[in-house]
Amino acid sequence: MRGDRTMADIQEAEGFQWLPAMDSLKQELQKQDPTVLSVVVALVVVLISLLLWKLLKRSQTSRRAVLLLGVSDSGKTLLLCRLLTGRYTMTQTSINAQTAAYRAKNDKGPSLTLVDIPGHESLRLYFLEQHKAAARGLLFVVDSSSFQREVKEVAEHLFQLLTDSTVLKNNPPILVACNKQDISMAKSAKLIQQQLEKELNTLRVTRSAAPSTLEGANTPTIHQLGKKGKDFDFSQLPMKVEFVECSAWDSKKEEGDANFSGVEDWLARLARPVPRQGTAIQQVCVLSHGGPLKTGDRRTSCNIVCMCIR
Ligand SMILES: Nc1nc2c(ncn2[C@@H]2O[C@H](COP(=O)(O)OP(=O)(O)OP(=O)(O)O)[C@@H](O)[C@H]2O)c(=O)[nH]1
Ligand SMILES: [Mg+2]
């Protein structure tokens, strides 16, 4: 019967075997032995680092999707076909998101998943909602030949992305692909960037000045875009935004003069694994021991336990 058991029995049966060890550790700590203290602190630091590294690695490897976004007719589906097969394909306005595995140039790691999101205004937010949490990068395609006409719609679409809470939480790198450069009226990437910055600056002012009565309980919070009190530019964003010129078209409708190598290079960079925590720990070791560690090495000194986990 439970009432007949001694305290020691209960401790043993209920997994309290570690209590004596804790007691002696407590006594050692009370004696304030600096060696014990520094080992305990170092162990805690290593454990926390390992935990953070695991969490970081899990979130980075789980996000492998690259979303192809942009207004309708900008060339997302043709660009997707080019990236996958190198060939020209006749396209029609997409009404569904298309998903395909893509292995970047010279990449031996896990493949990326390209997701072609329909650009039609009534569909794009619906499909974005479904895929945005998995986004490792956003490939925003612009029709450079009709940009002047569509600048407001393009900027509004970009504004929605840049102020989205999930996007802001993960900060995926963004590539603005200024497509259809084969058309003589096409605007350059530099001009598109400048005009978008201007338009986003205007949108930011008008959105923040919207009467609060319009913001009902169901209206999502609009996050601040860029730095307050400064004219907007892309460098103020938490994620890296790059611009590139490309053309998914070619006159022979085959593999001829289509040019999208800038997009391929960006995808190859995106596919690479991010430097691992092991590198940082190794740098600590270089500083504290005057020499780098090899894989699996462990050293304890100067209050830091170093372990190379590469
Ligand atoms: N000249 C030229 N035409 C292009 C280029 N890229 C795409 N197109 C054409 O532009 C039209 C629209 O291309 P899509 O790839 O279907 O456009 P989309 O962005 O997928 O459009 P939605 O599915 O409606 O969102 C097609 O007729 C393509 O052949 C390009 O670089 N140059
Ligand atoms: Mg399409």
Say how far apart CA 12 and CA 19 lie, in whole Å.
10
- Give the model's pLDDT for residue 218: 54
**pLDDT of 109 strictly over 60:** yes
Overall average pLDDT of the 172-182 stretch: 97
> What class does CATH assign to 75-208+220-271?
alpha beta
Give the model confidence (pLDDT) of 4-27 as tens digits. Answer: 555 556 555 555 566 677 777 777
**pLDDT of 115 strictly over 90:** yes
Q: How far is CA 109 from CA 24, 67, 113, 173, 241, in A?
A: 48, 19, 13, 19, 24
| Residue whose CA lies nearest to ligand 1 atom number 11 | 73
For residues 68 and 132, the answer to whether their CB atoms sit within 8 Å is no
**pLDDT of 276 strictly over 70:** no
Measure the N-to-C terminal CA separation of the chain; round to a whole number of Å: 53
Overall average pLDDT of the 28-52 stretch: 82
Average pLDDT, the chain: 81
- Give the model's pLDDT for residue 92: 95
| Residue whose CA lies nearest to ligand 1 atom number 12 | 73
- Give the model's pLDDT for residue 180: 96
Residue type, 136: R
Report how far ligand 1's centroid is from the alpha carbon of 135 (Å).
23
Each domain of the chain, given as residue ranges in start order, spans 23-57+275-307, 75-208+220-271
Which residue carries 């700590």 as its tokens?
29
Strand order in the sheet with 98-102: 98-102, 112-116, 65-69, 135-143, 174-179, 241-245
- Any residues with Cβ below 6 Å from ligand 1, and which? 70, 72-78, 91, 93-94, 118-120, 179-180, 182-183, 247-249
Overall average pLDDT of the 129-154 stretch: 97
- Give the model's pLDDT for residue 18: 63
Report how far ligand 1's centroid is from the alpha carbon of 274 (Å).
33
Report how far ligand 1's centroid is from the alpha carbon of 131 (Å).
22
- Of 73, 126, 259, the one to substitute when testing ligand 1's pocket (max ligand atoms within 8 A of C-beta) is 73
* Prediction pTM value: 0.72
- Give the model's pLDDT for residue 210: 66
User: Structure tokens of 148?
Assistant: 């002047």
Overall average pLDDT of the 169-185 stretch: 95
Residue type, 264: E
Overall average pLDDT of the 161-184 stretch: 95
Q: Which of 15-29, 141-155, 162-176 has the lowest mean pLDDT?
A: 15-29
Q: Which of 168-177, 252-261, 289-298 has the lowest mean pLDDT?
A: 289-298
User: Structure tokens of 245?
Assistant: 């010129």
**pLDDT of 163 strictly over 50:** yes
Q: Which of 2-6, 250-254, 257-261 has the lowest mean pLDDT?
A: 2-6
Report how far ligand 2's centroid is from the alpha carbon of 96 (Å).
8
Give backbone dihedrals phi and psi of 62, rounded to 5 degrees, phi first.
-80, -20
Taking the CA of 127 as reference, the closest ligand is 1
Taking the CA of 70 as reference, the closest ligand is 1
